[in-house]
Chains A and B, each alone.
Chain A
């Protein structure tokens, strides 16, 4: 095994957007918890284009403490992009992600690490006693969690909890972009990660404003649709589009059978025949196009296949 001079055990990745009041208290707790672990660590703050004092405060902390690294975005790029930038820079064997709003408790980090040691690749936090408004946050979140879990086949109580610990090799493979941070466990699952959860603390928001809303339902549904495709069919997209094509062609086939029956036995009048012919034509054309779409999708998969197709623990 290669021995590096400054080996890092734990990286904590925290995306921040306009959290000026939370910066210092968050750092204080993190510093206390992490320095008590007796391991090499780094804290990576990502300033996602904040317009307040977040960045100057982070900069001041980074100048005092060499464990702290700061990435500054030119503009607000979203939580996925910020987390991804953190993942890119993180060098630790274990990478922990958490929100910068102090609702997650850094004191849970040792528990997460312990669980990870049991042989998991991802340990997710579960906000068992959630301190948010029931109707506005908890209920929609619970429903969303149900749907996300059943579509992505990940068995967690609380996929929305930002506090999670990952093994480095999982993180380095994850494709995080767009608004997919909501589905990080699903993305990890696509890479073959073993996933579990533990209950964590959750505090009410002290400073700043919540930046989530429940208005993005449609986008979430669409993201789920694509994730479903990735999970089941990324390596064989023709199967997915082929199924749609078969459904269409089957309809067309039924219509064609009807047309022939009408021609041979004369059971249908000209009106029924016209309807059947229209259906047959439209559905044949549609069905054929889906086959071609599937072939193109296969092509995309083949040309994009630069990465390894598997994730494995190789002991040296």
Chain B
């Protein structure tokens, strides 16, 4: 899907694969966007961090349609390193698409993902990997100490509290843009649209073991928001989380409940007005309540109907979307 729109600059891929199949491989996916010369600094630090860890590694850079010379900087870098690759998106597709493209071209058992936007110290990814080896499936980076703008921090704090409350997670920085995960986690959950923001939420729902690890945020210039409307978007995302965690496969339980309430209120108003008029207590046409009653009735029934349509979609596709995650099958 996404990879059709990306050109892959890949050197010596075949040799790479065959030599690395024996040991576990770490795939680091780095999302870059208009980073210019900073891309080299990030890559160098990342390589230092990975080398320190001492296992086989590969880096997949995803250039999310930069307008500057980011790609040239990376190409220059990968002429010196055999296990670095560059995926250049034709235009800016967003983080979920970038992560998806990176995953499709990675072959490691353990995956590190980071976006240059959050400006954390790439050398410290080792810490995330260590937690992974302790038996966790997903380790979310916690930007601490944080050097973002105050607005970013406040938005982030509110957002994290709400998501933790809804999803039952206990993380300080859910959408930090840095994490390490086992490949199976990322193949088990859907990543598209804005869903990259909710990887911990979905992983939690699937029963994976999740933890966090501090990672230092570097001082420097911050873009307040890369993709437009990001702040408003985040609060709409809360609804996404609600659906993801509770009603993803039972839309009627949610919409039916809301719709039933609205219908009952609407019907009650209408019955009240009906007797009010019939018993000649007074006129009703001038009252906004009449319009409210009629509208609530219609909207309530429609909401239930939309829930039913949701059920139809799920029913017709139930065989394709499984809602459980098998850890092990024993069969001889």
Q: Does A244 lie within 8 Å of B301, measured CB to CB?
A: yes
B329 at the interface (CB under 8 A from A): yes
A73 at the interface (CB under 8 A from B): yes
B311 at the interface (CB under 8 A from A): yes
Q: Does A177 lie within 8 Å of B318, measured CB to CB?
A: yes
Q: Does B291 lie within 8 Å of A278, measured CB to CB?
A: yes
Majority SS at the chain A contact face: helix
Over the window 284-309 of chain B, the binary record of Cβ atoms lying under 8 Å from chain A Cβ atoms (1 yes, 0 no) is 11100011001100100110111111
B256 at the interface (CB under 8 A from A): yes
Given the interface pairs A81-B324, A275-B285, A286-B302, the reply to whether A222 lies near B252 with Cβ below 8 Å is yes
A254 at the interface (CB under 8 A from B): no
In whole angstroms, what is the CA distance A116 to B195 when docked? Answer: 47
Residues of chain A lying within 8 A (CB to CB) of residue B283: 271
Q: Does B302 lie within 8 Å of A293, measured CB to CB?
A: yes
A161 to chain B, nearest CB (A): 24
In whole angstroms, what is the CA distance A58 to B253 when docked? Answer: 34
Over the window 288-306 of chain A, the binary record of Cβ atoms lying under 8 Å from chain B Cβ atoms (1 yes, 0 no) is 0110010011001101110
Q: Does A66 lie within 8 Å of B315, measured CB to CB?
A: no
Given the interface pairs A274-B285, A300-B313, the reply to whether A84 lies near B329 with Cβ below 8 Å is no
In whole angstroms, what is the CA distance A177 to B251 when docked? Answer: 12
Residues of chain A lying within 8 A (CB to CB) of residue B324: 73, 77, 81-82, 84-85
B317 at the interface (CB under 8 A from A): yes
Given the interface pairs A62-B330, A73-B325, the reply to whether A49 lies near B207 with Cβ below 8 Å is yes
A26 to chain B, nearest CB (A): 17
Residues of chain A lying within 8 A (CB to CB) of residue B229: none
Given the interface pairs A226-B311, A275-B285, A285-B298, the reply to whether A74 lies near B327 with Cβ below 8 Å is yes
Residues of chain A lying within 8 A (CB to CB) of residue B312: 226, 229-230, 234, 237, 297, 300-301
A175 at the interface (CB under 8 A from B): yes
A262 to chain B, nearest CB (A): 12
Interface residues of A in 50-88 (CB under 8 A from B): 58-59, 62-63, 66, 68-77, 81-82, 84-85
- When the two chains form the complex, which single residue of A69, A89, A272, A282 contacts B294, counting CB atoms closer than 8 Å? A282
Shortest Cβ distance from A42 into B: residue? B331
In whole angstroms, what is the CA distance A85 to B290 when docked? Answer: 51
B6 to chain A, nearest CB (A): 28
Per CB-CB distance, the 3 closest pairs between chain A and chain B, nearest first, are A75-B207, A304-B316, A74-B207
User: Residues of A at under 8 Å CB distance from B?
Assistant: 49, 58-59, 62-63, 66, 68-77, 81-82, 84-85, 89, 175-179, 218-219, 222-223, 225-226, 229-230, 234, 237, 241, 244, 248, 270-275, 278-279, 282-283, 285-286, 289-290, 293, 296-297, 300-301, 303-305, 307
Q: List 24 A-B contacts (CB under 8 A).
A: A58-B330, A59-B330, A62-B331, A70-B329, A71-B329, A72-B326, A77-B324, A81-B322, A81-B323, A178-B323, A218-B253, A222-B252, A222-B257, A225-B304, A226-B252, A230-B312, A275-B277, A282-B295, A285-B298, A303-B316, A304-B313, A304-B317, A305-B316, A307-B319
Apart from A75-B205, A230-B315, A304-B316, list 11 A-B contacts with CB within 8 A.
A62-B330, A71-B328, A72-B329, A74-B325, A175-B315, A178-B323, A222-B253, A222-B307, A270-B285, A279-B294, A304-B317
